[in-house]
Structure 1
Amino acid sequence: MLKIETLRAYVTVARSGNLSDAAEVLGRTPSALSMMLKQLEAHLDEPLFETDRKNRLTALGAFVLEQAEREVQHFDTTVRAIEGYARAVYGRVRIATVPSVAGTIIPQVFSRYINDFGEVDVEVRDMDSSSIRHELSRNRIDIGIATKGKHDAGLHSELLLSDEFGVICAPDHPLAQQDGPVSWAELAEHRLIANSLSAGIEAAAARDLHAQALLTAQNLTSIFGMLRAKIGVTLLPEMAISAAAVGELVFRPLADATARREIHLLRKADSSISPAARFLEECIKETVATLQVGSEAALDAARLSDAP
């Protein structure tokens, strides 16, 4: 039975023209190579070399060289691809994330680790949490970064981060002229532009406000356009304000500290992910951890500077 080691040995000897040079290239002894070539010739029942010096090929030898080179090259390419995939050098990763993370965390991830991904093809999409969970269930993406739903039994989830909800409005809106957290009672005096995220706040006062809201928008472009037009105010997690230009909109936290959004790292529970996808997951978690440490350090520094 022909083996790839035998074909590699034959190709090396045929190209070197002698056993000694080929043995040095392959890290084998000349006698071991000679034995392999004799077994190959015995298997074919025909000589491959015109003489024992191995510097001239027979017609069969030339044909075997052509075929063996092709096979060895294909084998080596296959091995490199397999090993590269296992080491996350090759592969494809499809990730979908909520827009606020797509505009803040994901750029930081690739800024730090893009050179470590080799030739991995990474596709990033931004969409709402419900769509992300749907795409995961259909195996159309590998990783999702979104809020959890009520019926996510088929998904593996890991808490990635959480951020507080607050009121976002135009800079000249009455709520923007004040400092400090906004109470539900204060918010009730203004037109609320509802959205899918704010609708998930469980506080009774929030549910009442949403029940009375006559205007709903589902994407940041529409919501921010309405805010700039001074149509009303909205409730969004603090991270969402990063999608607006500096000074374009104002964020004020809610007095209700329980109004927070939790963002999870999601994937199918009943299937494994590729090494490249697993590596990207680790990069995301490390980036989030680093950013949170930096944010906490900045807050501590601010508190010290304000201390008497």
Structure 2
Amino acid sequence: MLRLEALRAFVEVADHGNIKDASDRLFRTPSALSMTLKQIEERLGCPLFETDRKSSLTDMGRFLYDQSVILLRDYDRAMERIEAQSKARSGRLRIASVPSVATMLLPGFLQDFIATRPDLDIDLVDTDSTDVRHLLETGQVDLGIAGLPPDLPGLASDPIFRDPFRLVCRSDSRLATQARMPDWADLEGEALILNEAARGLASPGFQRLALGARFSVRNVASLLAMVQAGMGVTLLPALATVNLPASLTARALADPACMRRVSIHWRIGRIPSPVAQLFLRQFAADARLQAGRLGLEPIA
């Protein structure tokens, strides 16, 4: 079997028409290059050059040259792709994220992240925390960004920031205009619209109100439309309330336990790809900075 480096040496000699220039190009001695050519000819059982001057190829030499050029080109391209993937310059990255992070923190970061990686493809799924967990556990995404508990079986996590929940109500409602922060007693008699972000809140006051909720909406746009229509109030993380329409108001709650912890999650027992590892490190650092600027609590 002929080695790739032997074929590369042969192609260089054929391209230059002499051994000396080819040896300079390959940083090898002329004697070593001559030995390589001799070994190829002995392996094939026929000469590759018409004369010792190496200026013209035999028919067999021409055939070997054409095949070697194709083989070396494909090999070099494959090695470039392999190196690009190992250095996190290419590949495919699949991410699932809660909507607030997907709209507020990811766009600017991803723009910079892909700017120097033209061969990187990114699939982003914008969904709630329950679905983020499912997509991670079934291997449909590489990384998940969500407000999931830190000790879920089979998942590892890197915490990014804490995000307090806000009461979202119409701007013309009594809850929007009262001077003090709303507490659970203030919500008695109000129609509470549940959503996946708030469903896991352990506060007894919230759980009592949640028992009487008639609506549960997973899509944030639909959820806000229902609140705008006067169908009730809801709770959303502060990050999800940054760009509310003027007709809606987000109020801080008197209960300090209304808090979510947003983390990046990945599957235990499956080593993330190089680009996933790089994204994890860089986004976690960038998101902590962005969260701090938005008044949230970064987790170091």
Do the two structures share a fold, i.e. TM-score over 0.5? yes
Where 1:264 maps in the other structure, the secondary structure is strand
Where 2:271 maps in the other structure, the secondary structure is coil
Aligned residues: 296
Where 2:239 maps in the other structure, the secondary structure is helix
Q: Map 1:86-235 to 2 at 5 A.
A: 86-148=86-148, 152-235=152-235
Residue 267 of structure 1 aligns with which residue?
266
C-alpha distance in 2, partners of 1:179/1:142?
45
Corresponding letter in the other structure for 1:200: G
C-alpha distance in 2, partners of 1:284/1:174?
40
Corresponding letter in the other structure for 2:257: T
Distance of aligned partners of 1:50 and 1:248 in 2 relative to their CA distance in 1, 3 Å threshold: farther
Which one is further off, 173-182 or 159-168? 173-182
C-alpha distance in 1, partners of 2:144/2:191?
33
1:294 aligns with 2:293: yes
Where 1:117 maps in the other structure, the secondary structure is coil
Q: Map 1:50-65 to 2 at 5 A.
A: 50-65=50-65
- TM-fit CA distance, 1:181: 2.2
C-alpha distance in 2, partners of 1:57/1:184?
90
- TM-fit CA distance, 1:78: 1.5
Residue 9 of structure 1 aligns with which residue?
9
**Percent identity of the aligned residues?**
36
Q: Indicate conservation of the 8 Å contact 1:130/1:149, yes or no.
A: no
Cα shift readout 1:167-221 (whole Å, capped 9, x = no counterpart): 0112212211234521111122422112222221111111111112222222212
Where 2:163 maps in the other structure, the secondary structure is strand
C-alpha distance in 2, partners of 1:34/1:80?
29
Gaps of 5+ in 1: 298-308
Distance of aligned partners of 1:149 and 1:285 in 2 relative to their CA distance in 1, 3 Å threshold: closer
Residue 236 of structure 2 aligns with which residue?
236
Q: Indicate conservation of the 8 Å contact 1:165/1:259, yes or no.
A: yes
- TM-fit CA distance, 1:292: 3.3
Residue 21 of structure 2 aligns with which residue?
21
Corresponding letter in the other structure for 1:190: E
- TM-fit CA distance, 1:149: 5.2
Distance of aligned partners of 1:197 and 1:292 in 2 relative to their CA distance in 1, 3 Å threshold: closer
Task: List 4+ stretches of structure 1 deviating above 4 A.
Answer: none
Residue 278 of structure 1 aligns with which residue?
277
- TM-fit CA distance, 1:293: 3.9
Distance of aligned partners of 1:296 and 1:282 in 2 relative to their CA distance in 1, 3 Å threshold: same
Q: Indicate conservation of the 8 Å contact 2:98/2:146, yes or no.
A: yes
Q: Indicate conservation of the 8 Å contact 1:103/1:242, yes or no.
A: no
- TM-fit CA distance, 1:28: 1.8
- TM-fit CA distance, 1:295: 4.0
Residue 249 of structure 2 aligns with which residue?
250
Corresponding letter in the other structure for 2:69: E
TM value normalised by structure 2: 0.93
Residue 300 of structure 1 aligns with which residue?
none
TM value normalised by structure 1: 0.91
- TM-fit CA distance, 1:15: 1.1
Q: Indicate conservation of the 8 Å contact 1:167/1:233, yes or no.
A: yes
Q: Indicate conservation of the 8 Å contact 1:103/1:243, yes or no.
A: no
C-alpha distance in 2, partners of 1:72/1:112?
34
Corresponding letter in the other structure for 1:162: R
Gaps of 5+ in 2: none
Q: Indicate conservation of the 8 Å contact 1:96/1:127, yes or no.
A: yes
- TM-fit CA distance, 1:224: 0.6
- TM-fit CA distance, 1:230: 1.7
Cα shift readout 1:106-129 (whole Å, capped 9, x = no counterpart): 113113323133311111111111
- TM-fit CA distance, 1:64: 0.5
C-alpha distance in 2, partners of 1:140/1:202?
29
Q: Map 1:23-42 to 2 at 5 A.
A: 23-42=23-42
C-alpha distance in 2, partners of 1:293/1:260?
16
